[in-house]
Amino acid sequence: MTTLSNDYSDRYRQSLELLDRAERAIPSQAQTFSKAWTQYPRGASPVFADRADGGYVWDADGNRYIDWPMALGPLLLGHNHPGVNAAITRQLADGCAFSLPTKAELALAERLIDWFPYAERVRFGKNGSDATAGAVRAARAVTGRDRILCCGYHGWQDWFIGTTTRGAGVPDAVKALTTPFPYNDLPALNSLLEVHSGEVAAIIMEPMGIIPPEPGYLEGVRKLATEHGAVLIFDECWTGFRIDLKGAYGEFGVAPDLACFGKALGNGVPISVILGRADVMDVFDEVFFSFTFGGDMLGIAAAGAVLDVLEREAVLLHVDRIGTALMSGFRSLIEKYELGGYIGLSGYPGRHVMSFAGDGRDGLLLKSIFQQEGLARGILAAGWHAPSYAHSEEDVKMTLDAYDVSLNVIRDGLDQGDLSERLLGETVEAVFRKP
Ligand SMILES: Cc1ncc(COP(=O)(O)O)c(C=O)c1O
């Protein structure tokens, strides 16, 4: 039972009561670690969402927040987008699941082939993890090799999650086949390829996850992959359609062999994609990438509507404007409160991430106080922003006004030496704990 002994006892009462129930029904009390109560200061934060519209979300107690995580990224156009809703509703009326492939899935595949110049074939999944796992399996099948080199986050499947601190349940034999490599470090990748010469099936990476590639880096990775006969897979599940309409290829001109997209493509309706060169993709004639909801019609309908909006309207221009204002406003506040040694910010206007650390302080404590104060003022953020087409300049102003208070509280706590007393809830946890 969470004690309601702080100023927030009324504000989050419903959420906390639901959390008590969830502890008896749902392990980890959430379906996704990054959405769970561990990511917000328990006792001084909402736990359950109730509904959402545009750039706003309401919690179980009826409090409204400006929603910056946007369901972990997918809501590029905003919640409840009329065009996407209309497309899904039309599809529902025509049936949402069939026992034959559909004209609509073919049309979407053809459209994506036109969209990405290097794509010759397309297959659909539901989660980003479907796409990355499928791409890795295709690479193994086409090369006849087992080893995977990876860089970034690639989802919940054994082949990747075994490399993280959340690898419980993954056999050691599987863990041994995937090796992470550091970003923006060509010599490190090169030496891994040499150590495992002739064994590497795929290099899979987030090509522009949070930090942009250094000049020549992606070109260098492309060259190394080709020289070593490994399939190059760009995992653009997070950044796809959000940073550049044509992904890393559009931004940096480097073509992978395969690419994976998810999240923003369906604006919240589950759909993911593997696309790429025919000589690799055609192994799916044999390779088992086949499940009941592959080609699910609601995802296909939503994706078509999203592409319509992206083609017609200057979505990314707006997202860029909102994100740039957020980033520069936040940086000014860090300066104003002289917190540069404790709080950092990196990324793109369309996706940026804060870091909390420094001077031997508990970064998670700093983050928790930051979140607590923002939440009390109607800002839902878990240390990063995913601006959408639905967010307004007024939302940015409200957010920065709230952050002004949050950083002031942190500054004061550091100066007075009583930082931990400022936290009225529990300290947040990292999803991937230190080993
Ligand atoms: C880069 C990247 N790849 C893959 C995934 C996995 O996607 P999903 O959680 O939809 O399975 C994610 C999810 O956050 C991601 O950010």
Residue nearest ligand 1's atom 8 by CA: 128
CA–centroid distance, residue 158 to ligand 1 (Å): 14
Domain 13-79+315-422 has what CATH class?
alpha beta
Can you read off the two tokens belonging to residue 396? 């940015």
pLDDT value at 9 more than 90: no
Residue to substitute in 158, 206, 238, 351 for testing ligand 1 pocket (most ligand atoms within 8 angstroms of CB): 238
Q: How far is the CA of 160 from the centre of ligand 1 (A)?
A: 11
pLDDT for position 89:
98
How far apart are the CA of 5 and the centre of ligand 1, in A?
Answer: 37
CB atoms within 10 A of CB 360: 5
pLDDT tens digits for 142-192? Answer: 999 999 999 999 999 999 999 999 999 999 999 999 999 999 999 999 999
Q: Is the pLDDT score of 249 beyond 70?
A: yes
Closest to 372 measured CA to CA, from 331, 338, 433, 421: 421
| Chain-centroid distance, C-alpha 164 | 17
Q: Where are the domains of the chain?
A: 13-79+315-422, 98-295
**pLDDT at position 1 over 50:** no
Closest ligand 1 atom to Cα of 155: 6
How confident is the prediction for the chain on average, in pLDDT? 96
How many whole angstroms separate alpha carbon 234 and alpha carbon 253? Answer: 13
Place of tokens 């302080």: 361
Residue with CA nearest ligand 1 atom 7 = 128
Residue 4 scores a pLDDT above 60: no
Ligand 1 atom closest to the Cα of residue 270 is 10
Question: For the sheet containing 64-67, what is the strand order?
Answer: 49-53, 56-59, 64-67, 379-380
Check whether 117 has a pLDDT greater than 90. yes
Inform me whether the pLDDT recorded for 433 exceeds 90: no
Q: Topology of domain 98-295, per CATH?
A: Aspartate Aminotransferase; domain 2 (3.40.640)
**Residue 193: strand, helix, or coil:** helix
**Residue type at 238 in one-letter notation:** W
SS3 label, residue 165: coil
How high is the pLDDT of residue 380? 98
Ligand 1 atom nearest to 206, measured from its CA: 1
Output Rg (C-alpha) for the chain, integer angstroms.
22
pLDDT tens-place string over residues 292-324 = 999 999 999 999 999 999 999 999 999 999 999
- What is the pLDDT, as a whole number, of residue 415? 96
Per-residue pLDDT, 8: 77
- pLDDT of the residue at 435: 67
Q: Rounded to the nearest whole angstrom, what is the distance from the C-alpha of residue 84 to the centroid of ligand 1?
A: 22
pLDDT in tens, 193-230: 999 999 999 999 999 999 999 999 999 999 999 999 99
Which protein residues touch ligand 1 with a CB less than 6 Å away? Answer: 72, 127-129, 132, 152-156, 206, 235, 237-238, 262
* Calpha distance 14→19 (Å, rounded): 8
What's the pLDDT score for residue 65? 98
Closest residue to atom 13 of ligand 1, CA basis: 155
**87: pLDDT strictly greater than 60:** yes
In whole angstroms, give the CA distance from residue 203 to residue 178. Answer: 10
pLDDT at 358: 72
pLDDT of 359 strictly over 90: no
Residues 414, 381 contacting (CB under 8 angstroms):
no
- Residue 424 above 80 pLDDT? yes
Determine what percent of the chain is predicted with pLDDT higher than 90: 95
Residue in this structure with the two tokens 């995992």, named with its chain if needed: 235
Q: What is the pLDDT of residue 362?
A: 86
What is the pLDDT, as a whole number, of residue 142? 98
- Does the pLDDT value for residue 337 go beyond 60? yes
CB 45 within 8 A of CB 376: no
Q: Give, for 343, the enclosing helix (H) or strand (E).
A: strand 343-348
- Express each pLDDT in 385-406 by its tens digit: 999 999 999 999 999 999 999 9
Could you give the maximum distance between any two Cα atoms of the chain, in Å? Answer: 67
Calculate how far, in angstroms, residue 384's C-alpha sits from the geometric centre of ligand 1: 16
